[in-house]
Amino acid sequence: MKLTGFKVLTFDCYGTLIDWESGIFNALMPLVRKANVTETRDQLLQTFAKHESAQEEETPAIPYSQLLSVVYKRLGKEWDVSVANEEAIIFGAAVPDWPEFPDSVDALQYLKKHYKLVILSNVDRISFRSSNARLKGSFDAIYTAQSLFHEHAPANRFGIASAWIDRRHAEHGWGATMPPPGAPNYDFRFHSMADLVLAHQTEVRRANAVARA
């Protein structure tokens, strides 16, 4: 299987193109300080993942910004501190502040020359609007639905080829995403979007060399 054999690439956004773990961690800091929580960054993200996944199961149809607000209150309850509605709403509205990874925009601009690009992400459209602006509006289609947990396991079930942009390759654990059920398969694995671009460029150069031979 070759990267150059595809016409369309679909992307999860958060954890692949947008550094949602840094965004979540930063937005959690007021609550962490208020509760005097001493967990490490990864522990905090894992606690977030537990509540986010549970809330998605309970209320799968609510917009993601609202879901984040509920998760913030759940975290306050676990850490035994009161959370005002305004605090929870601020956390839920923080998605536009989540930064893009440094290589995302350049990689998307390159890939757009070779593929149709599609977003498939479990986020609401209003929250994604600012992320899309950060990514320079590179997408031909946007469907609002990182991860082995949310994308690769379903892709396996439907026989869809997948690539894992493993941004956490140098870290332990799953961070802000729940561990996947079982061990989903993937067809490609890269440490960054830049590595994906490099692999595509290598395939193109080899194909051109064969054509010239």
Domain CATH number, residue 139: 3.40.50.1000
Q: Which one of 55, 82, 97 terminates a domain?
A: 97
pLDDT at 146: 43
- Verify whether residue 12 is a known catalytic residue: yes
Tell whether 114 and 93 lie within a shared domain: no
pLDDT at 175: 63
Tell whether 51 and 75 lie within a shared domain: yes
Mean pLDDT of successive 10-residue stretches along the chain, which has 213 residues: 91 91 96 95 94 90 92 97 96 95 96 94 86 92 65 61 78 63 73 93 89 78
- Of the residues 12, 106, 124, 140, only one is catalytic, namely 12
Tell whether 125 and 93 lie within a shared domain: no
Q: Which one of 97, 116, 135 terminates a domain?
A: 97
Q: Give the structural domain span for 153.
A: 3-18+101-212
Tell whether 109 and 204 lie within a shared domain: yes
- DSSP label of 5: G
Q: Which one of 97, 121, 149 terminates a domain?
A: 97
pLDDT at 212: 77
- Number of domains the chain is built from: 2
What b/e string do you get for 102-112 counting C-beta neighbours within 10 Å, with b at 16 or more?
ebbbebbebbe
Residue 10 · residue 93 · CB < 8 Å: no
Nearest Cα neighbor of 123 from 179, 68, 192, 180 is 68
